[in-house]
Amino acid sequence: MNIFSFAKTELKNLFSTPATRAYPLEPRNYPERTRGHVVIDINTCVLCGMCSRKCPADAIKVDRAAGTWSIERFGCVQCGNCVVSCPKKCLSMGQAYTEPDAQKRTDTFTKPADQMKPPVAPAAKPAAAAAAKPQKPAESAAPAAEEKKNA
């Protein structure tokens, strides 16, 4: 039995820098691929709701009427499925993790009003389509709705 079997490790520990980091004083350098949090470019988003349907944690809520896209920060499990499935590619993964908090946090993004489609049009479309099967009345209904809004 060698009583000096740890001498080498001890000496190394004495003269080497710590293996740990003084976080948060010394911030972490994330690798390029780190999936930390979901970032949205709300201007490109068309509020199609695909991300919310694909999310395994049900963390995303999309409200077309109000024009909002919201994410429950601590519900999200950083899987990246929403990023992969977004048809407009407006979602991406940021590197830093969500900061710890005492409460659950929901971040809501609202689409700027000038980018929103006229609120009547989406509501009028299905109604018109259901009421009349032929294409023509539906087409004429849309401009009618548009006019009503302008008036």
Positions that interact with ligand SF4 (CB under 6 A): 38, 40, 45-51, 54-57, 59-60, 62, 69, 71, 76-82, 86, 88, 90-91
98 binds another protein (CB under 8 A): no
Which does residue 141 bind out of another protein, ligand SF4, none, counting CB within 5 to 8 angstroms by kind? none
Q: What count of Cα atoms within 13 Å lies in the side-chain half-sphere of residue 36?
A: 15
84 binds another protein (CB under 8 A): yes
14 binds another protein (CB under 8 A): no
* DSSP conformation letters of 93-148: EESSPPPP-SS--EEEEE--GGGSPPTHHHHHHHHHHHH--SHHHHHHHHHHHHHH
Q: Which of 71, 124 has the CB closer to ligand SF4? A: 71
**Of all helices (H) and strands (E), which one includes residue 11?**
helix 7-15
Distance CA 127, CA 105 (A): 36
Contact between 77 and 57 under an 8 Å Cβ cutoff? The reply is yes
Q: Which of 1, 25 has the CB closer to another protein? A: 1
Interaction with another protein in 34-63: which residues (CB under 8 A)? 34-35, 54, 56
Q: Which of 8, 104 has the CB closer to another protein? A: 8
Distance CA 91, CA 58 (A): 16
- Please give the residue ranges that form the binding site for another protein (CB under 8 A): 1, 5, 8-9, 19, 31-35, 54, 56, 77-81, 84, 93
